[in-house]
Amino acid sequence: MQTVAAISTPPGKGGVAVIRISGDEALSIAERVFSPKGKTMPKSAPRMQIYGDILYRGEVIDDGLLTYFPAPNSFTGEDVIEISCHGGILVSRKVLESCFIEGASAAGAGEFTKRAFMSGKLSLSETEAIASLLEAKSDAQIMLARGSSRSKLTLSIDRISEKITSLLSSIWARIDYPDEDLGELSAGEIRLSIGEIGKELNSLIATYRTGRSIAEGVRAVISGKPNAGKSTLYNLLLGEEAAIVTDVAGTTTDVLERTIPLGKVLLRLYDTAGIRSEASGKIEEIGIERSREKLSEADLVLMLIDAADGISGEDREIISFVKALSAPKIAIITKSELSDKDTVSAISEELSASGFENILAISAKDDPEGAIAALTERVEALFTDGELSVGDDAIVFSARQNAALIKAREYIEAAADAYDKGLFEDAASSELELALGAISELDGRAVSERVIADIFSKFCVGK
C-alpha cells in the first residue's frame, strides 16, 4: 500500500500537533523532512524521541520531535513515523505538505486504524470499540471501549470460534473415516458441545441490551399534558435552561432533542409539546402530532402527571395512548411538593391499576438531586444488567455484532436440531460451517468490503 500521512491531532491552535506517516517509505520520507540536531538518527533509535529541525523543500520551518516505530511493532503494523511540531494551524499544514512533497499520499478517514485491522493488529470488534471511544459522551462509554473490555470481547469471540472449529474437525474425521474412530468426540459429546456453544452465544447476545444502551443510546421521550413539568425535567436532566419554562400551558410547541448520559445509560432525550384533546391553533396541533410520532418511535417513555392537578381526563387519554406502546414506560408524578401525600398516593394507585410498573414521585424544584438519582436508578434497571461489569466483562455494543451473533446462534440451533432428529452428520457440519462463517463476520475475518468501508467512514482523518 502507499505510504500515507495526516495530521493526527485536532485542527486548530494548540501546544503541539502530531503528523503521522505510515508505510514502507515512512522512514525515508522522514529523513528528508527531518534533520536531527544530534548524532542519533531515527533508524538507530526506534521508539525514542529525537529532537531536530523540520524541513520544507530543504528550508527549516520549525523544530520538534520525531519518533520511529518500526514494523511490525507499531499501531498499523507498518513502519510509522510521528513528528511533533508546534500546534499552529499553518505550521502543521506546512509539515504535512512537506511529507506530501517527499512522496507521502494523503490518508483517508480512519486510514491508520484500517491498516492496523488489515495487518491483524486489531479485530473488527476492537476497531468498532475505538470508534466508540472517539465519540464517547459518557464515562460508561469510555469504560466500554477501553482496552481490557475490547480484549474480553475478542477473547470470547475467539473461544467460540475455536470450539466450533474443533467440533468440525471431529465431525469431518468421523465422516471421512467412519471405521477408524479418528474423531476426538463421540456423537453424544458433539451434541453436548453444540449445546454449550449455544449457551455461550446466548450469554453474549444478552449483553447487547446493556451495550446498546451505553454505546448507541436510548430514545427517551418526555410526554404529558401541557404544563405537567416536561420542560422542567428536561432542563434538570441537561443541567441547563435549554427549554423555556413558564406557567403558561403549551409553551413548548416543537420537539427539542439533546443527548446526555444518565448514569451508565446514554439518553437521546426528547422534550415534546403537551398533548391535549383540542389544540389552541395550527402550530400547537402540529406540535401534538409530532409528540405522538416521537412516542411511537421511543425506546423509553417518561410520562408525566402533575400532582397538583391529579389525574385529569387529558391524562387518562395520554395514559391510554402510552399503554399501547411497546417501549418501557416510567410514570413520573411531578410537582409532588405542591400536593399532599394522600393525593400522590391516590395518583400512584390509579397508575398502578392502569398497568404501570415503574412509578416515581419527584420534586424537580425542591429536590433536584433526589429526582435525578431516582430516575437514574429506574432507567439503569430497565436497560442495563447490574451483574455485568462495564469495562471488565465482554459486552456486545453494536447492532452489527449482535446481528452476527444471532445468525450464528440460528445455525448452532439448526446443527443441534439435525443431531436430535438423527440426520446425517454432514447436515450438522454444514450448519456449523455457517455458524463459523457468521462468527468470522463478527471479528472481521470474513466480512464484506462494504461493511468495512462503513465502519471506517466514521473515523476522522488522522486516526
Q: Are residues 295 and 257 in the same domain?
A: yes
| 146 backbone dihedrals φ, ψ, rounded to 5° | -70, 165
CATH, residue 77: 3.30.1360.120
Q: Are residues 169 and 220 in the same domain?
A: no
What's the pLDDT at 124?
77
The range of the structural domain enclosing residue 428 comes to 129-207+394-446
Task: Convert 167-203 to b/e letters by CB count within 10 Å (16 or more is b).
Answer: bbebbbbbeeeeeeeebebeeeebbebbeebbebbee
Q: Are residues 398 and 438 in the same domain?
A: yes
Tell me whether residue 88 is exposed, middle or buried, using C-beta atoms within 10 angstroms of its C-beta: 0 to 12, 13 to 18, 19 or more. middle
What's the pLDDT at 248?
43
What's the pLDDT at 287?
67
Using alpha carbons, select from 310, 317, 308, 210 the residue that is nearest to residue 274: 317
What's the pLDDT at 85?
96
Domain count, the chain: 3
Contact 442, 394 (CB under 8 A): no
Q: Are residues 169 and 280 in the same domain?
A: no
Question: Can you give the pTM of this predicted structure?
Answer: 0.72
Q: Are residues 287 and 152 in the same domain?
A: no
Give me the helices (H) in 354-424, please.
368-383, 399-420
CA distance 87 to 46: 24
What's the pLDDT at 244?
46
What's the pLDDT at 130?
79
What's the pLDDT at 249?
46
Q: Are residues 372 and 260 in the same domain?
A: yes
CATH, residue 200: 1.20.120.430
What's the pLDDT at 251?
46
Q: Are residues 229 and 362 in the same domain?
A: yes
| Single-letter amino acid code for the residue at 166 | S
Q: Are residues 276 and 354 in the same domain?
A: yes
Q: Is residue 19 part of a domain?
A: yes
Q: Are residues 231 and 351 in the same domain?
A: yes
Q: Is residue 452 part of a domain?
A: no
**Neighbouring C-beta atoms of residue 13, cutoff 10 Å:** 11
Q: Is residue 462 part of a domain?
A: no
Q: Is residue 458 part of a domain?
A: no
Q: Are residues 189 and 338 in the same domain?
A: no
Q: Is residue 266 part of a domain?
A: yes
Q: Are residues 143 and 234 in the same domain?
A: no
Q: Are residues 154 and 232 in the same domain?
A: no
Q: Is residue 451 part of a domain?
A: no
CA distance 359 to 329: 9
What's the pLDDT at 48?
93
Per-residue pLDDT of the chain (463 residues; tens, 9 = 90+): 899 999 999 888 889 999 999 999 999 999 999 999 988 888 888 999 999 999 999 999 999 999 999 999 999 999 999 999 999 899 999 999 999 999 999 998 888 988 988 888 887 777 777 777 777 888 888 888 776 677 788 889 889 988 988 888 877 776 655 555 555 667 778 889 999 999 999 999 999 999 999 988 999 999 888 888 888 888 888 887 755 444 444 444 457 888 989 999 999 998 887 675 555 556 556 666 788 888 888 999 998 988 888 888 888 888 888 888 999 999 999 887 777 788 888 898 989 988 889 998 888 777 888 889 999 999 999 999 988 888 888 899 888 889 999 999 999 999 999 888 877 677 788 888 899 888 887 766 555 565 566 666 666 666 6
What cell was used for 89? 494551524
CATH, residue 267: 3.40.50.300
- Beta-carbon-side half-sphere exposure of residue 308 (alpha carbons within 13 Å): 8
Q: Is residue 67 part of a domain?
A: yes
